[in-house]
Amino acid sequence: MYSQHRHDILEQLETSRHDGLTTEVANARLKKYGLNEMQHEQQEPGWKVFLKSLTEPIIIILWIAIALTLISASYDFLVRNDFDHGMSAIYEGLVILIVILVNSSLTYWQKSTAKKSLDALSSDSRHQSNVLRDETWQKIDADQLVPGDIVDVKMGDFIEADLRWLSVNELQVNESHLTGEAEAVEKTRDSLPEDTELGDRTNMGFSGSTVVNGSGIGVVTATGMQTELGKIADLLQQTKQEKTPIERTVSQLTKRLMVAAAGVVVVAITFDLVKEYLNTNTISVTGLMNSISGAIALAVAAIPDSMPVVLSIVLTIGARSLARNNGLIKSLSSVETLGATTFIASDKTGTLTKNEMTVTRFFSNGVNFAVDGNGYDPVGEIHSVKDGKNVQESDFTPFLQSAVLNNEAQIQRNDADNYEPLGNPTDVALIVLGRKAKISRDKLLSETGEKDCDILRVFPFESTRKMMSTIIKIGDEYQILTKGAPDVIMQHTKDAMFNNKLVSISEAKETLEKQVSDYANDALRTIAVAKRDLTKDEALNGTQTDLEKKLTVLGIVGIIDPPRPEVKKSIAVLHKASVEVVMITGDHAATARAIAYRLGLVKDKEGRVVEGYEIEKMSDDELFELVPDIRVYARVSPEHKQRIIKALQKHNEIVAMTGDGVNDAPALRAADIGIAMGINGTEVTKDSADLILMDDKFTTIEKSVSAGRTIFANIKNFMRQELTTNVAEVLSILLGTFLITQPIGHVSELTPTLTTIMVLWVNMISDSLPSFAMGYDEPEHDIMAEKPRDVNQSLLANHLLSRVLIRGFVMGLAVFVAFYWAASAGLQTNEAQTIAFLTLVFGQLWHAFDARSAHTLFRRNPFSNMYLIAAVLFAGISSLSITMLPFFNMLMGTSPLTWELYLAVIFLPAIPTFVLSGLKEIFGIKIW
Ligand code: ADP
Ligand code: MG
């Protein structure tokens, strides 16, 4: 492909440079060659995921429980001939089996749907390619590319397939993923000798490379696994779906609870056996069996079986709610990190401002002009600010010609007869200005112009260089037109044009600088326009650095880019939430400061602004000292962003950083939360970001932080709910073991307070459902009034542990008291256990309304989350039903109660929650 002539390749691929493929041919080729994607190893099949979930540690405990019920049943059938007892052991085993299957199905369902819904969310961020099909340029998903497609790439794009270049324009590409060479490669379109090595095939583009400069058009020669990247795809590391920090913490927590449970079980069995020995002077096998089955309940009680599944589901619910706010999150771990963000470093242009640029003033040929008009409409008068003198077109014509020729933007009339900008907004502003003076690029380049004018080369704008240049040929003359940040241009300037005379830069400097600072202090973005005559040889072969010097300044423009109106409020909200906001911009220091002041980002009009050249001179330690106090950075290059992030992170700050250009990708990766722009961002930045703003708005960052905090709060709330229940279950069973040493009424001293199945029911149904529902809770009113969460702090910090223990203790005690009372009142074993069971169920259902608030249930409207109401009603009613229906009575050892008792077990368990929360409100207690 690299050794043939490009026309032969086009012929061979049966395609055309000007028409592209037809959709029909493209579809046929797609069938033949397959999707343009890397096929990593086969995904784990569903049954494997399912089987794997059957061997999780929590589930293994349940398997052991089943084994024990089987042993106990055989003993009943064969030795004791106690058929009823044996059957109830069998039922117990069956129910546990059902629980295992339900849990595994849930895990499987969660794994597949969570992944799907995350994929669906991120389908908006799938790679796109600009391709020529049916004679029109269009954007398609990159995986649809086929050999023969004509594609167009520009700075910031990925190359999505292997290409042969048909035309290139200062095209430079980074191919380090194939060659290991970090330096960008300059591309050409000419044929190369047969024996050229991969790294030197400069007329080819390779899938996975990034365009770091210029643009190019190429024909796709290979896609998917046929590309050079595909050939080594097996060597590339596959990204695994990693557990999020909180998921890791939770699985650690469950492991610890399992160890604790094992300890408690051993103690309880020992205690039972000692108890029996003291009572009867023997230890019977029956006694051993009984105490083991009690111990199973205890083990199951201690472990929040459903917590890992509920957690992943709640995280997914959170990611979806973020997407509704126009924030697209790429991994679940970032959902958590977002809420802990302490510093947000934002670009100015387009994020804090509207990116609707309009030239309002300019200075040319020594004359100051003001410009009327709004938006992109190319109408508006230009007046001279020179003591009311008439406008002389000759004062701005050369300047404006230069500004519109050295320019890659356009404006286009749309269906509604409005003008739409196309391309770089700064350039658009200059195009509009030109049109106001009846100077347009098309007219200048058309054949009918006075002199034949052609564009030979373009050095595109780069935020590192802060300049762009175009080399043109007018008649027989060659010129370089350069424009860029005035302070940068002036470093490459020889003289300036004032009143049609060339004035040396040493003389002109003061006037120009004053002009720039006047504009900048008025929050205007400034650009200097310059040019120089070249020889033909220079024009065709000179390097960028050699050509962009000894320039003549033609003029300076002042461009207004109004702040987005809603940003001021967002910044105020973030400040209240103790999140610092920092502006990082390539613009002039004075412009940056003026905008920062208008947005309330800084209080002090004269506050310190650190500029890129200062950062350049600073050591990392000096920068470290400085960063906590600086809110505005100006004239910054993308490399500086990384250093600022690192310095802030050394202060233990959690940094979110926005970026839009290719060069921002490393900074986005270095940040804790890299943020890319969905509309104006390049493919490369979107790829390295954690969060994509679908609307490019700063306010979306604020909303995402708030959503991140809400999700974390909801997770803490449901964990408080689940763990409290576990404490209550364990305590009520242990109290039964330790305190009931003699039979009470019909109830033997070996009867556990709750049966294993009851405990499982509570964990899987009446606890999990409200927990899911808490994932849908809206933020509490003060969520953005608190400090960001300290990521190093334990999940159980801030009184969560003491709340779980105290509330769980009280609830467990209540369950035991209910059981003890029922036994003393002469009720049957099943009735006493049912009373204990329902006391627990309703105790925790009431408690759910308290757990969902960082304060108490009195501060949250219970009806604000209808999912929760539905979950609580369902859990309550189904728990009552299983005590009334004979089938469940047999299966679960429950028993119907009198209606007085039902009323008592529904309402009395509310008392602990209401009393404790009431005391909390009155005395401002935090620990429960
Ligand atoms: P930011 O995105 O933070 O506003 P940029 O890197 O886009 O910063 O711009 C930095 C400076 O480069 C601007 O202040 C302006 O002087 C100059 N500049 C921006 N866009 C262009 C352009 N298209 N052509 C020439 N100069 C430009
Ligand atoms: Mg910019």
CA of 761 to the centre of ligand 2 (A): 58
Rounded to whole angstroms, how far apart are CA atoms 295 and 97? 18
User: Nearest-CA neighbor of 673 among 651, 686, 656?
Assistant: 656
pLDDT 10s digits, 542-579:
999 999 999 999 999 999 999 999 999 999 999 999 99
pLDDT at 41 over 70: no
pLDDT at 388 over 80: no
Q: Quickly state the pLDDT bin for 241 (edges 50, 70, 90).
A: low
The residue whose C-alpha atom lies closest to atom 10 belonging to ligand 1 is 586
The residue whose C-alpha atom lies closest to atom 2 belonging to ligand 1 is 349
Rounded to whole angstroms, how far apart are CA atoms 538 and 233? 44
CB 508, CB 498: distance < 8 Å: yes
CA of 641 to the centre of ligand 2 (A): 14
Judging by DSSP bridges, how do beta strands 150-154 and 136-141 pair with one another?
unpaired
CA of 593 to the centre of ligand 2 (A): 17
Tokens at 643, concatenated: 């250093």
Q: How confident is the model over 171-183, as a mean pLDDT? A: 83
pLDDT 10s digits, 78-104:
888 888 888 888 888 888 898 888 888
Q: Which atom of ligand 1 is nearest to the CA of 561?
A: 4
CA of 560 to the centre of ligand 2 (A): 14
Q: How confident is the model over 663-673, as a mean pLDDT? A: 89
| Residues carrying CATH 3.40.1110.10, the chain | 369-559
The amino acid at residue 623 is L
CA of 348 to the centre of ligand 2 (A): 8
918 Cβ contact partners less than 8 Å away, ≥ 6 residues apart: 858
Q: What CATH number should be reported for the domain whose range is 49-111+243-321+705-780+791-923?
A: 1.20.1110.10
Q: What is the pLDDT of residue 236?
A: 54
Q: How confident is the model over 605-626, as a mean pLDDT? A: 94
Q: Which of 76, 347, 660, 777 is catalytic?
A: 347
Question: Whose atoms come closest to the Cα of 352: which ligand?
Answer: 1
647 Cβ contact partners less than 8 Å away, ≥ 6 residues apart: 620, 623, 624, 626, 627
User: Nearest-CA neighbor of 59 among 248, 254, 265?
Assistant: 254
Rounded to whole angstroms, how far apart are CA atoms 104 and 101? 5
Question: Whose atoms come closest to the Cα of 462: which ligand?
Answer: 1
> What is the rounded (10 degree) CA torsion for 431, 436, 437, 443?
50
CA of 627 to the centre of ligand 1 (A): 24
Element (H, E) at 422: strand 419-422
CB 311, CB 715: distance < 8 Å: yes
Q: What is the pLDDT of residue 125?
A: 64
Question: Whose atoms come closest to the Cα of 584: which ligand?
Answer: 1
pLDDT 10s digits, 499-509:
999 999 999 99
The amino acid at residue 125 is S
Mean of per-residue pLDDT scores for the chain = 89
CA of 729 to the centre of ligand 1 (A): 64
CB 209, CB 175: distance < 8 Å: yes
Element (H, E) at 131: strand 128-133
Site to probe by mutation for ligand 1, drawn from 405, 406, 466 as the one with most ligand atoms within 8 Å of Cβ, is 466
The residue whose C-alpha atom lies closest to atom 13 belonging to ligand 1 is 587
pLDDT 10s digits, 206-218:
998 989 888 899 9
The residue whose C-alpha atom lies closest to atom 9 belonging to ligand 1 is 586
User: Nearest-CA neighbor of 591 among 527, 540, 530?
Assistant: 527
Rounded to whole angstroms, how far apart are CA atoms 364 and 610? 30
Comparing 550 with 254, the larger pLDDT belongs to 550
Q: Which atom of ligand 1 is nearest to the CA of 463?
A: 6
Our CA angle for 338, 341, 343, nearest 5°, is 140
What separation in angstroms does the CA of 241 have from each of 62, 106, 151, 376, 544?
27, 18, 32, 46, 45
The residue whose C-alpha atom lies closest to atom 27 belonging to ligand 1 is 484
Site to probe by mutation for ligand 1, drawn from 410, 587, 609 as the one with most ligand atoms within 8 Å of Cβ, is 587
Kindly report the pTM of this predicted structure: 0.86
Of the chain, the percentage scoring pLDDT greater than 70 comes to: 96
The residue whose C-alpha atom lies closest to atom 4 belonging to ligand 1 is 349
Question: Whose atoms come closest to the Cα of 490: which ligand?
Answer: 1
Q: Which atom of ligand 1 is nearest to the CA of 485?
A: 16
CA of 289 to the centre of ligand 1 (A): 79
| Residues carrying CATH 3.40.50.1000, the chain | 327-353+565-696
Rounded to whole angstroms, how far apart are CA atoms 516 and 602? 22
Burial label for 241, CB within 10 Å (0-12, 13-18, 19+), is exposed
pLDDT 10s digits, 188-232:
988 999 888 888 899 999 998 989 888 899 999 999 888 988 887
Cα end-to-end span (Å), the chain: 73
Rounded to whole angstroms, how far apart are CA atoms 358 and 380? 11
The SS3 assignment for 640 reads: helix
Q: Computed over its alpha carbons, how large is the radius of gyration of the chain?
A: 36
Fold of 6-40+119-238: 2.70.150
User: Which residues surround ligand 1 with Cβ inside 6 Å?
Assistant: 347-349, 424, 426-427, 461, 463, 466, 468, 483-485, 525-527, 585-588
CA 227 to chain CA mean position, Å: 30
Q: What CATH number should be reported for the domain whose range is 369-559?
A: 3.40.1110.10
Site to probe by mutation for ligand 1, drawn from 441, 461, 548, 662 as the one with most ligand atoms within 8 Å of Cβ, is 461
| H runs (alpha helix) in 479-543 | 486-491, 505-521, 536-541
Rounded to whole angstroms, how far apart are CA atoms 906 and 65? 30
pLDDT 10s digits, 100-126:
888 888 878 777 776 676 666 666 667
Q: What is the pLDDT of residue 43?
A: 61
Q: Which atom of ligand 1 is nearest to the CA of 584?
A: 3
SS (H, E, C) 692-711: EECCCCHHHHHHHHHHHHHH
Question: Whose atoms come closest to the Cα of 463: which ligand?
Answer: 1
148: left (phi over 0), alpha (psi -120 to 50) or beta: left
CB 338, CB 330: distance < 8 Å: no
Superfamily in which the 327-353+565-696 domain is placed by CATH: HAD superfamily/HAD-like (3.40.50.1000)
Site to probe by mutation for ligand 1, drawn from 426, 430, 591 as the one with most ligand atoms within 8 Å of Cβ, is 426
| Residues carrying CATH 1.20.1110.10, the chain | 49-111+243-321+705-780+791-923
pLDDT at 426 over 70: yes
The residue whose C-alpha atom lies closest to atom 16 belonging to ligand 1 is 485
In the residue annotation, 347 being an active-site residue is answered as yes
pLDDT 10s digits, 296-349:
788 888 888 788 888 888 888 888 888 888 999 887 778 888 999 999 999 998
The SS3 assignment for 677 reads: strand
Q: Which atom of ligand 1 is nearest to the CA of 635?
A: 10
Q: What is the pLDDT of residue 680?
A: 83
Q: Which atom of ligand 1 is nearest to the CA of 488?
A: 16
Tokens at 621, concatenated: 């330690």
pLDDT at 406 over 90: yes
What separation in angstroms does the CA of 133 have from each of 24, 149, 218, 749?
10, 7, 13, 82
Comparing 386 with 766, the larger pLDDT belongs to 766
Comparing 416 with 628, the larger pLDDT belongs to 628
Q: Which atom of ligand 1 is nearest to the CA of 585?
A: 3
pLDDT 10s digits, 714-742:
999 999 999 999 999 999 999 998 899 88
User: Nearest-CA neighbor of 130 among 143, 141, 114?
Assistant: 141
Of the chain, the percentage scoring pLDDT greater than 90 comes to: 58
CA of 524 to the centre of ligand 2 (A): 14
> What is the rounded (10 degree) CA torsion for 498, 504, 506, 510?
0
Q: What is the pLDDT of residue 42?
A: 55
What separation in angstroms does the CA of 33 have from each of 147, 154, 223, 232, 569?
8, 26, 8, 18, 52
Burial label for 542, CB within 10 Å (0-12, 13-18, 19+), is middle
Rounded to whole angstroms, how far apart are CA atoms 267 and 275? 12
Rounded to whole angstroms, how far apart are CA atoms 696 and 681? 8
pLDDT at 149 over 60: yes
Q: What is the pLDDT of residue 239?
A: 46
| H runs (alpha helix) in 75-135 | 83-122
Q: What is the pLDDT of residue 448?
A: 64
Rounded to whole angstroms, how far apart are CA atoms 730 and 737? 11
Tokens at 180, concatenated: 């290991």
The SS3 assignment for 553 reads: strand
